[in-house]
Amino acid sequence: MTQGRMGASGAPVVSFENVRKVYGHVKAVDGLTMDLRPGETVAFLGPNGAGKSTSLDMLLDLRKPTSGTIRMFGSDPYHAIKAGRVGAMLQSGGLMPEVTVRELVALVTGFHPRPLPVEQTLKRAGIASFAGQRVDKLSGGQTQRVRFALAIVGECDLIVLDEPTAAMDVETRQAFWVNMKAEVAEGRTLLFATHYLEEADQAADRIIVINKGRLLADGTPSQIKARAGAKRISFRLDRIDEPFLLGLPALVNVEIRHDLVQIQSTDSDRTLYALLDAGYRPREIEVSGVGLEQAFIAITAEDDRDGNGTTPGRSDSAGVASYAQH
């Protein structure tokens, strides 16, 4: 990692200190405090409406905090962005139509304080093969890759991505993360928001989870999964009693697929004993630690229960019934 990217003192690249953003009676961000350190890949997770996009907008100086302080490279976000130290890929905003990909990248490159050669950017973003195509003729996945290219047209030190792999197929998504690992290997810091939790588990050094604008968890993927304190129980039942299963103790989440039941529980012993005490005799029992997706559900569900009480919910799709306590 270069001294220029790291900074003389190894100070945080970004710091939020008790940041709040209020719209009328709605607290979009509520006392958020967090740091991003040099060279990290950080996944920024939260359910819909958790405050992720608002936090990213404030980080990029697109919105001003109601209170609190945001620092970037030891200064305010405006000056860091003006100096070309930040590249961003957001969900909002369209791309200029009726120009080729190469022409659009060249145009944005011309405005950057620290530009890179256009052909280098096209190669880094993996879009050289369709650089001659018009922007308005691209597929959804190609459009996302062009957005990424526009985020890295210059020598930026921090890359901020909001749902970067949306609309990408599996192969394109894998290629995208190969490119991102190369960017981070050069000393850049990466912050990305995503709904693909498997992607976050594989790509991130560190995961930050927020809900209702508040910080819930901050640690490595392994630490987040351990913090959930939940186990996954899988078994088969000949007779399914849905109301009974929803009433099991220590329940976080239940999924039913025909005779297969998968339960997420904060106390697997209590859950299983309650099932056995009621006269059920499950088959093919497996108890394991949860993955990141299950840990995320457990952490946010616990926060929702603490603030709003517990309400079972249900959705059905293609013969699958899912039940969750939130």
Tens-digit pLDDT profile for residues 196-205: 898 999 999 9
Written as six digits, the tokens of 40 are 């990290």
pLDDT higher than 80, residue 310: no
Which of 175, 196, 225 finishes a domain? 225
Same domain, 183 and 210: yes
pTM: 0.76
Residue where a domain stops, chosen among 210, 225, 240: 225
pLDDT above 90 covers a percentage of the chain that reads 66
For residue 312, pLDDT beyond 70:
no
CB distance 43 to 204 below 8 Å? yes
- What is the domain range of residue 58? 3-225
- Give pLDDT, residue 221: 92
The mean pLDDT value for 33-58 works out to 94
The pLDDT mean for the chain works out to 87
187: left (phi over 0), alpha (psi -120 to 50) or beta: left
pLDDT number for residue 40: 94
Q: Does 19 lie in the same domain as 104?
A: yes
Return the pLDDT at 131. Answer: 97
Q: How many domains does the chain have?
A: 2
Q: Are residues 165 and 250 in the same domain?
A: no
Map tokens 């220590």 to a residue: 250
Write the pLDDT tens digit of every residue in 266-289: 889 999 999 999 999 999 999 988
